Structure 1
Amino acid sequence: MHMLQWNKRLQRAGLSLALVAMSVGAAPAALAMSAQEADAAVARLMKSAEYKALSDLLDKDHDNIVEQNIQLQQIPAPPFGEEKKAKAFAALMKEAGLDAKIDEEGNVLALWEGTAKRKDVHAVIAHIDTVFPLEQDLKIRREGTRILAPGIVDDTRGLVALLAYVRAMKQAGIQTEENLLFVGSVGEEGLGDLRGVKHLFGKGEYKDRITSAIIVDGSNPEQVTLEGPGSKRYEVHFKGPGGHSYRAFGMVNPMYALGNAMAEFGKVEAPKGTTYSVGVVGGGTSVNAIPSDAWMLVDMRSTSMKDLASVEQQFLEIIKTAAEQENKARTTKTGPIALDYELVGDRPPGQTAEDHRLAQIALAATRAQGWKGRPNSSSTDGNIPMSMNIPTVGIGAGVGDHAHSAEKEYLDVEKGQSLRALHRPLLTILDAAKVQLR
């Protein structure tokens, strides 16, 4: 599928990104919590019989958790190609003890009902898709306690964690006051443009019922994501008449326009917290042909909507100028350079106040498992609820590194630290859901 066609599919998500992230200061007093209070709350939870039962069950289930991690990792799931993996995840969720269904956008939804019988739900989300194409070799290899494979961590580990939590909570007879909505989302990566969570929060059946979100994603056990930088992504084409490199010499050349645009864009001064990159380029058919098309994919990110808009405006001016300059530099007798560009990614920025109870509990849960615990900024499924001022944290359930690298991505399954990492989101979930303690 040509990249320009993808945007039409993205529009099905139906969430208007006229959403403007509001500045987040301190949490409301009723929801604010100090680090000391959070540490005490997590300590009480960890002393409970319910938590100890869950801990024992996860310990006994660890080998199975690793096997399921590999089982799901072996299913290709690029953005817009998640259906097979989604069905497998839904089937495993049913085996774990919850009915699961797949919504119109392809997300897997499984509702854990609380005893209070309220409508509101706390969403627990891991994404199904990976950055790797359908044809990617997904073979695993082992180096000590590390499993190396594309997608083994990001975010297959999150999916498997959700299954492990549901399985253990069911087996332990856990009851919670609040509802939990376990979600396997689609389209988190790349040009998927968060289409799954855009649908979930913008059009799905739970869109007005989600009061908080816990994003189970990431492989650094010290980090808790409280901020999501926004992004704009463009596909840009410079198109011309094309011709023979010798006989048609002197006519406009799309490659020169593209090259000049990239060079000028690289000179833009980025404000603090703002980044940009030309990630993919293409065009041309032969060394002895003037191409009829030269294109690039561009990514711009910022934690500030204002700064993101500024860099975006400079970028748009640069590509227009590059086309105009090429048309002036060479002959347009057989046709000029035409500029064709499309916004293929639009993610709003957002953040959760660090003193919000959800954030403090996630940080305290991290400290309780032996890691420092520090706030992090990262673009994830959490961008959407954060941009809507829905309290949201991102917290990983594994230990690994090199996500998005086909050769280097790994998950460390040494049992001790693997279980400790699983407990970080678990403690956060139990607190949000108001687990009932005996």
Structure 2
Amino acid sequence: MADHVPELEPKMLERVETLALKPRVAEALQVCVEEVERAMAEQVRISEIESPTFAEKVRGEAVLALLREYGLTDVVMDPSGNVVGRRPGTGAGPVLAICAHLDTVFPAGTNLKVTKEGPIYRGPGIGDNASGLRSMLQVLRALNRAGIETVGDILFVGTVGEEGNGDIKGSKALFDGSREIDGCLALDMADVYTVQHGATGAHRWRIAIEGQGGHSYLDYAKVPSAIHAMCRAGNIIADFDPPADPKTTFTIGTIKGGTTVNSIAARCEVDVDMRSVNLQELEDLERRVLAAFEKGVELENARWPLADADHQLKLVKTQIGNRPAGMQPDDSPAIQAALCAMKHMGLEVRQCRPSSTDVNKPLSIGIPSVCIGTGGETHNEHSLKEYFDSTDMQKGPQLAILTTLALVGIKNEVEPGLTKHKA
């Protein structure tokens, strides 16, 4: 059952149907079928290149070389580590960024060797996100083979830092205002029946409570406990009741501290994750959570009045994640292009929901953006038992091609559905 699915805009649906009738577009879509084996071999090669978050350079260089091999001359690795290649349009149209993240959740030294069993490919990261990079590269090859000239420019981007504590570093760099970009299409997740149309914001904090600590018996009543203070804070936070609509959530994801069973803990540390599609709700929750940690320290210090100033607990707050939230109207050209392309291809919309991806940043600053599937099916992602079912994987790049062309248009044939921002 899908979430709220926007009604299709007749003009965008007509644009997609018109595109699909163009011989060159049909040729590009057919290229995706003809090159399935080549594309899958490329996905495997990419997957076997180590690319932990914050260490994506080697994989980035490989993708950079492929972008050049497939005809792009304006290709760079920017200071953030993103690989960015431009496929020029007429110069008068909008600019669309097609993004697929380079990083994986697996640390250096992980065995990334991919094994094959029929259409099934097993290996850590084979789906997330070697599949997205494969789909992005296939789009480029197909457009070139079909000789399609677009009105708008297309940026092909391998982004860094999408996973975990990478905090969408690459997307933030891409949309830092240094480039004119009018829309974003992220290729992340294999499922072509899902549209991720909004940005679930995530604020993450590492909270440490620090003091002097002491002996559990000899220093009892003289020294407050960092662990007890953290427990007091956690007790307050556990009873928070954030709204279900817009969905807003929290969790204390990790906790560590103390040294021995017979010690009053000198330090305790937790990592906290808070999420919402609504920035105001997220910020309100964040204020309450941080205030609860302040209160926990205050209560624990007050519990032991014999403790002198040197033994009082102190709170240390470090933000470790800030993924901005954002939603967009149903008539956003990015959403409409993706949904109309799915309609043309006969792909049922099984899920239409917000998520946390590279589109978070552009959506938060009002740039039409959407995340779509790459084709095939990924199972057990983020685990060593991850595997990818390549059945019908051509549908991913085919969907991306139709969505892309609906947004950037075809020279002298179809106008772009994406609006070029005024300087």
For the aligned pair, the TM-score class normalised by the smaller chain equals 0.7 to 0.9
1:352 aligns with 2:328: yes
Structure 2 residue runs without a partner (length 5+): 1-5, 414-423
Instruction: Encode CA deviations 1:51-74: one digit per residue, 9 max, x unaligned.
Output: 221123222221121122122222
**Given the superposition, is the C-alpha separation of residues 95 and 403 from structure 1 closer, same or farther in structure 2, using an over 3 Å criterion?**
farther
- Does the 8 A contact of 1:398 with 1:411 survive in 2? no
Moved more, 301-310 or 252-261: 252-261
1:271 — aligned with what? 243
Moved more, 314-323 or 360-369: 360-369
2:202 — aligned with what? 231
1:57 aligns with 2:34: no
Cα offset for 1:180? 0.7
- Does the 8 A contact of 2:381 with 2:387 survive in 1? no
1:431 aligns with 2:406: yes
After TM superposition, the structure 1 = structure 2 runs for residues 130-279 of structure 1, keeping only pairs within 5 Å, are 130-142=104-116, 144-204=118-178, 206=179, 209-245=180-216, 247-250=218-221, 251-272=223-244, 273-279=247-253
1:129 — aligned with what? 103
1:111 aligns with 2:111: no
2:418 — aligned with what? none
d(CA) in 2 for partners of 1:403 and 1:238? 36
Cα offset for 1:197? 1.8
**Given the superposition, is the C-alpha separation of residues 405 and 228 from structure 1 closer, same or farther in structure 2, using an over 3 Å criterion?**
same
d(CA) in 2 for partners of 1:129 and 1:93? 17
Moved more, 320-329 or 131-140: 131-140
Moved more, 399-408 or 234-243: 399-408
d(CA) in 1 for partners of 2:205 and 2:69? 42
Instruction: Encode CA deviations 1:131-173: one digit per residue, 9 max, x unaligned.
Output: 3333444343456533233322222211121111112222222
d(CA) in 2 for partners of 1:435 and 1:398? 24
Moved more, 128-137 or 68-77: 128-137
Paired residues, number: 401
**Given the superposition, is the C-alpha separation of residues 264 and 49 from structure 1 closer, same or farther in structure 2, using an over 3 Å criterion?**
same
1:298 — aligned with what? 272
**Given the superposition, is the C-alpha separation of residues 281 and 162 from structure 1 closer, same or farther in structure 2, using an over 3 Å criterion?**
same
Cα offset for 1:187? 1.6
Cα offset for 1:113? 0.7
1:363 aligns with 2:339: yes
1:46 aligns with 2:20: yes
Cα offset for 1:103? 0.7
Partner SS for 2:208: strand
d(CA) in 1 for partners of 2:233 and 2:110? 32
Cα offset for 1:403? 6.2
Q: Which amino acid aligns with 2:232?
A: N
**Given the superposition, is the C-alpha separation of residues 146 and 280 from structure 1 closer, same or farther in structure 2, using an over 3 Å criterion?**
farther
After TM superposition, the structure 1 = structure 2 runs for residues 356-435 of structure 1, keeping only pairs within 5 Å, are 356-373=332-349, 374-402=351-379, 404-414=381-391, 417-435=392-410
Moved more, 371-380 or 144-153: 144-153
d(CA) in 1 for partners of 2:335 and 2:264? 55
- Does the 8 A contact of 2:102 with 2:133 survive in 1? yes
d(CA) in 2 for partners of 1:238 and 1:399? 46
Cα offset for 1:400? 2.5
**Given the superposition, is the C-alpha separation of residues 254 and 143 from structure 1 closer, same or farther in structure 2, using an over 3 Å criterion?**
farther
d(CA) in 1 for partners of 2:100 and 2:134? 9
- Does the 8 A contact of 1:274 with 1:301 survive in 2? yes
- Does the 8 A contact of 1:352 with 1:393 survive in 2? no
d(CA) in 1 for partners of 2:59 and 2:255? 30
Q: Which amino acid aligns with 1:211?
A: D
Cα offset for 1:280? 2.1
- Does the 8 A contact of 2:93 with 2:152 survive in 1? no
Instruction: Encode CA deviations 1:291-317: one digit per residue, 9 max, x unaligned.
Output: 432111111111222211221111011
d(CA) in 2 for partners of 1:287 and 1:74? 44
d(CA) in 2 for partners of 1:247 and 1:138? 53
Structure 1 residue runs without a partner (length 5+): 1-31
d(CA) in 2 for partners of 1:279 and 1:141? 33
Q: What TM-score, normalized by structure 2, do the two folds share? A: 0.87
Q: What's the % identity of the aligned pairs?
A: 31
Moved more, 179-188 or 403-412: 403-412
Q: Which amino acid aligns with 2:132?
A: G
1:8 — aligned with what? none
Moved more, 101-110 or 394-403: 394-403
2:420 — aligned with what? none
